[in-house]
Structure 1
Amino acid sequence: MLKGKVALITGSTSGIGLAAAHVLAEQGINLVLHGLMSNQEGTALAENFTQQYKINTTFSNADLRDPDSIHTFIDNAITKMGSIDILINNAGIQHTESAINFPLNKWNDIIAINLSASFHTIQKSLPSMQKNKWGRIINIASVHGLVGSVNKSAYCAAKHGIVGLTKVVALENAEQGITVNSICPGWVDTPLINDQIKAISEKENLDFEDAKYNLVTAKQPLPEMMNPRQIGEFILFLCSDSARSITGSSLPMDGAWTAQ
């Protein structure tokens, strides 16, 4: 069912996005990759996927802070690939600081990349999905789309916004063969959190692994970070026919964080 579909994944040159790209490519799904790479590096990555999985792959390094760049990105992807069947809004950035001291430029960038970009990609991708009467939109939110944490005002605001956006788009497209869901991970072993671990390591005079353990267990009962591939496999399930009745949901993968 999924072989030959086209998936666009923002932030797919590392972490969760790259892991998801490999999981989907294994099923014969064509890919639009995106990330913070030069065109030369991104094209090389796309060619590696094409050769390894015998699929069609393209790359863009569009600036997700700029709506015009996003619109061009989506238009070019549809022109090159024929459609966007699966949209995975994964790109995200982080900055931690108290609300009273939070830098305005960091706030604006986090809201733009972690929230507004998802609106723009969804808006531009929906006509293709509606035309084909089939689509899967999967937004990588966070446990911070469900709960708050200190020093994460922008991140929590953006991720709560993603959860709300998911619900509305799901309701508007429930009869179109399109499902829209958010995945809300807890701690995932990606480069995004390395700075937080290093800060704990320096502050508490701990080695990196002990600092990571302390970071995880301060919030999450399961004392380990997820491998990004686990999220990729969950994404694959949400794309399957078995998940066709799951829509408008915000699905925790959080080691019982929100069970408390």
Structure 2
Amino acid sequence: MTPHSVTLDLGGRTALVTGAASGIGRACALRLAAAGAKVRAVDRDAEGLAALERAAPDAVETVRLDLTDLAAAEQAAAGVDVLVNNAGLQVVRPLEEFPPDAFRLVLTVMLEAPFRLIRGALPHMYGQEWGRVVNISSVHGLRASAYKAAYVAAKHGLEGLSKVTALEGAAHGVTSNCVSPAYVRTPLVERQIADQARLHGIPEERVVTDVMLTDSAVKRMVEPEEVAEAVAYLCAPQSSVITGSSLPLDGGWTAH
């Protein structure tokens, strides 16, 4: 029995994954490497990148990069066949206390950097009449939650950017889609727990059940490998007609 549900051959292809040092990005990098891609793994976490490279030494090329360097981000995407925009950060504050610099940083990393990466990747994709852009959005790209103004704004913007990319890329064999999970078992989510407990006035041990999973019909977190498998599906030949879409992995959250 194969550990992967999607048959995918990316031999000869280059994939770039941002935020690849941990969590969803690491899972996506390993999944695409398993499909035969040469993976360009981008992150600012040198230790995490080194661990990823050890896990797939022949398939992963690591690039230490802070995505606030927008020109470098665009340059890093040149020549790639598959682009996975995954990197993100979270700040949990009420609007009236939300630091403007933090708001700007979140939008830079999670919306402006994906735009620059897409801009850098499209000429090669258009030239070969094939490409896959997969944007790791969130249920918060489809729904809002209190205290996450920057994250929700960035993810809603990413969903729109993905649709524009789909419309422009269709004539060139390029698809663009979002994968929009609910809470995924990652360090990013774990770091939110203390802030969520403080803002909601509950103990930390109740945050997962009382806040994170309260709107989900399936009462468990999403695993990073589940997100990576959805990414693989969107890169497969069988999905070539799927573009401009958002694939919710939200346990029924958006069914409300």
Aligned-partner residue type, residue 139 of structure 1 = N
The separation in 2 between residues aligned to 1:71 and 1:166, in whole angstroms, is 16
Paired residue total: 246
Counting aligned pairs with the same residue, the percent is 37
SS in 1 for 2:160: helix
SS in 2 for 1:175: helix
Match of 1:235 among 231, 234, 253: 231
TM-score scaled by length of structure 1 = 0.89
SS in 2 for 1:173: helix
Aligned to 1:223: 219
Aligned-partner residue type, residue 13 of structure 1 = A
Deviation, 1:198, is: 3.2
Quick check: 1:204 aligned with 2:229? no
The separation in 1 between residues aligned to 2:55 and 2:224, in whole angstroms, is 20
Deviation, 1:126, is: 0.2
Deviations for 1:167-221, whole angstroms, at most 9, x for unmatched residues? Answer: 11100111111100011111111111113323456743353xx432223332212
The separation in 2 between residues aligned to 1:137 and 1:3, in whole angstroms, is 17
SS in 2 for 1:245: coil
Aligned to 2:45: 37
Aligned to 1:6: 14
Give structure 1 stretches of 5+ with no counterpart.
none
Deviations for 1:4-50, whole angstroms, at most 9, x for unmatched residues? Answer: 21110000010000011111111111100011223x76356435412
Deviation, 1:61, is: 1.8
Spell out the pairing of 1:130-141 with structure 2 (5 A cutoff): 130-141=126-137
The separation in 1 between residues aligned to 2:194 and 2:248, in whole angstroms, is 26
Deviation, 1:99, is: 1.4
Spell out the pairing of 1:118-197 with structure 2 (5 A cutoff): 118-197=114-193
Conserved? CA contact 1:84–1:128, under 8 Å: yes
Aligned to 1:100: 96
Conserved? CA contact 1:143–1:186, under 8 Å: yes
TM-score scaled by length of structure 2 = 0.90
The separation in 1 between residues aligned to 2:207 and 2:147, in whole angstroms, is 18
Quick check: 1:68 aligned with 2:76? no
The separation in 2 between residues aligned to 1:3 and 1:250, in whole angstroms, is 26
Aligned-partner residue type, residue 18 of structure 1 = R
The separation in 2 between residues aligned to 1:41 and 1:257, in whole angstroms, is 31
The separation in 1 between residues aligned to 2:230 and 2:236, in whole angstroms, is 10
Deviations for 1:36-93, whole angstroms, at most 9, x for unmatched residues? Answer: 223x76356435412xxx43x211121211212213433xxx4xxxx30000000000
CA RMSD of aligned residues (A): 1.8
Give structure 2 stretches of 5+ with no counterpart.
1-8
The separation in 1 between residues aligned to 2:116 and 2:212, in whole angstroms, is 33
Conserved? CA contact 2:138–2:155, under 8 Å: yes
The separation in 2 between residues aligned to 1:92 and 1:184, in whole angstroms, is 13
Deviations for 1:85-138, whole angstroms, at most 9, x for unmatched residues? Answer: 000000000001111221011001100001100000000000010111110000
Conserved? CA contact 1:139–1:166, under 8 Å: yes
Conserved? CA contact 1:197–1:215, under 8 Å: no
